Amino acid sequence: EVQLVGSGGGLVQPGGSLRLSCAASGFTFSTTWMSWARQAPGKGLEWVASIKEDGSDKKYVDSVRGRFTISRDNAKNSLDLQMNSLRAEDTAVYYCVRGVVSPGLWGQGTLVTVSS
Amino acid sequence: DVVMTQSPLSLPVTLGQPASISCRSSQSLVHSDGNTYLIWFQQRPGQSPRRLIYKVSNRDSGVPDRFSGSGSGTDFTLKISRVEAEDVGVYYCMQGTHWPRTFGQGTKVEIK
């Protein structure tokens, strides 16, 4: 089955760190850009970061650049998002997404709550 | 950043009637490769987004043919020919041409 399964969400204090992971299956992971998107509670969708097939190119939205790092392990079919210096406004459901020009597969989402 | 503007933001529709959502971009979405990367997503309550349409007008496998996409340049439309109960949810347009990728605000479709 083609799927993306995200994990790693939880409650973290402002200024803290969290690492999200996404396990991909059912498709050739190493041949596609991968991305993270997020959705704050009751709000719309926001693109967060993307990484090229071989990890040689990474893109970030301005609001997370310098704080978040996207990475991948093609041998393990996994995608990560390291989130540092977290802020209340980073509270959202984070989705692992396949693709970057016409993203066609979204994971189930993992909730990150930044609060004291 | 490219601003994606959807209208309306709320769309009450009678079952069996048509519905139309507009999406306008602040810049042309024609990529240097000649493609126009405008995508439409449906998000049902409590679910992850689901892609319906890619490259303006290409319907995904399994998407009912009552959904159609059209447009060019900066002006795009999603149409539902006859709304069914299962179409309730929020619809987003997204551009995949420019960095960073950006979404419209979302249009909430509900049954009258």
B56-85 confidence digits (pLDDT tens):
999 999 999 999 999 999 999 999 999 999
Does the beta carbon of A8 lie under 8 angstroms from any beta carbon of chain B?
Answer: no
Query: Does the distance separating the beta carbons of B96 and A47 come in below 8 Å?
Result: no
Cβ <8 Å between A102 and B96: yes
- B80-108: average pLDDT: 98
Identify the band that residue B108 occupies on the pLDDT scale cut at 50, 70 and 90.
very high
Beta-carbon contacts of residue B54 (< 8 Å; ≥ 6 apart):
A102, A104, B37, B39, B60
- Nearest 10 degrees: Cα torsion B16, B88, B74, B103: 180
Please report the pLDDT score of residue A110 as a whole number: 98
Residue A66's pLDDT is 98
| Span B31-42, pLDDT tens digits | 999 999 999 999
pLDDT > 70: percent of chain A: 100
Of B35, B48, B54, the CB nearest to A106: B48
Q: What percent of chain B is predicted at pLDDT more than 70?
A: 100
Percent of chain B with pLDDT over 90: 100
> What pLDDT, on the 0 to 100 scale, is given for residue A48?
98
DSSP string of chain A, one letter each residue: --EEEEE--EEE-TT--EEEEEEEESS-GGGS-EEEEEE-TTS-EEEEEEE-TTSS-EEE-TTTBTTEEEEEETTTTEEEEEE-S--GGG-EEEEEEE-SSS--EE---EEEEE--
Of B31, B35, B103, the CB nearest to A46: B103
- The mean of the pLDDT values for chain B is 98
Q: Looking at residue A42, what is its pLDDT?
A: 96
CA-nearest residue to A61 within chain B is B100
Do residue B54 and residue A104 have CB atoms under 8 angstroms apart?
Answer: yes
**B chain contacts of residue A65, beta-carbon cutoff 8 Å:** none
pLDDT tens across A39-95, in order?
999 999 999 999 999 999 999 999 999 999 999 999 999 999 999 999 999 999 999
